[in-house]
Amino acid sequence: MIERIRFKNFKALKDAEVKLGAFNLIVGPNGSGKSSLLQAFEALSNPSSCIHRQWGTLGATAKEFSIELLWNTERSSFWGGYLFKQGEWKFRIQQSSGDPLTKEIPSHFLARVESTRVYALEPAKMAQSVDSRRVAELSRTGDNLAGALTYLRDQDEDAYDHLRAELQRWLPEFDSIGFKNDQNGCRELSLRQAGSRQPVPAKELSEGTLLALALLAIVYQPGAPTLIGLEEPDRGLHPRLLREVRDALYRLSFPSDFGLKRKPVQVVATTHSPLFLDLFKDHPEQIIIAEKNSDGSASFRSLADDQQLREMIGDAPLGEVWYSGVLGGVPAIK
């Protein structure tokens, strides 16, 4: 599990560090570094993408930026990460004490960062039909949802059956998932209405329905990643589904609590929803507050580590505290 990640001149994260647990919910105003953190995982999983993007902090005097992770081995902890300089990534690794270790990229480090998946789901794209040959894991925006569900069905029939059962529990108005290939070789997704037993094409489904289906595809995907990043997984969903979403994500991070025998998946999710935040009242260690500083930079702090803030919150609902600005949420004005 990644324990910490630190940044120098990466987008809004000019000089920041964040402590991570098995499950992490990040709350903060717009421009406070939430998306930058998720984009950092994307950059680490595919360093070559940085050559084609402007990831550096706007206005920073330094012409380089770095992203480094702290992770544990059986014997000790190590910092490992990348420095982007002169148009290319340079890997570096050192012991947590600061002593250099090696210039080679350890295979276990590569395996961890390369298996990271980040999602910013877009319902309009998820509703589109896809090339029937595009059978693969769910993409970042979910634009291949029909192909991803086909992939799950073909790779792990039991997981696919569990997904269908869970979808019916979440959305009892539907009782089946359907696929249809047109004459042009495109595959269209549909859900069958439980009452009329008529298929509803994806283009006619609500955004919330498509988002729920995509979230379940992420949770039940075969060969789960070591880390999943989610941009506002609660967005567009009916409030009654928020607890279901939380528990589905908990199944990834805490599988043994659900009687599952598999490795846990570290989850980093963002939210702006007071209702979703309320569900984590009893787990302050899972809440990270992102703050936008007066100089435009961003920083993070753990709610569990802020004793004074927790005492100030008391028994008040976290969502109410967040909405009022006590928990953060209101950007600093210079």
Tens of pLDDT, residue by residue over 14-56, are 889 999 999 999 998 888 889 989 988 888 787 766 655 667 7
Cβ(130)–Cβ(202) under 8 Å?
Answer: no
Domain 1-116+244-334 classification at class level: alpha beta
Residue 233 pLDDT:
95
pLDDT at 155 over 60: yes
pLDDT at 311 over 70: yes
pLDDT at 76 over 60: no
Cβ count near 258 (within 10 Å): 11
What is the Cα–Cα distance from 136 to 144, expressed in whole angstroms?
A: 8
In this predicted model, what pLDDT tens digit does every residue of 190-236 receive, in sequence order? Answer: 999 999 999 999 999 999 999 999 999 999 998 778 899 999 999 99
Q: Which residue has the tokens 């970042």?
A: 140
Residues of the chain with CATH 3.40.50.300: 1-116+244-334
Q: What is the β-pairing status of strands 199-201 and 266-271?
A: unpaired
C-alpha dihedral, 130 to 44 to 121 to 288, nearest 10°: 170
In this predicted model, what pLDDT tens digit does every residue of 293-305 receive, in sequence order? Answer: 888 788 999 988 8
pTM across the whole model: 0.89
Highest mean pLDDT among 99-108, 251-260, 312-321: 251-260
Residue 332 pLDDT:
52
Kindly indicate the confidence band of residue 101, based on its pLDDT and cuts at 50, 70 and 90: very low
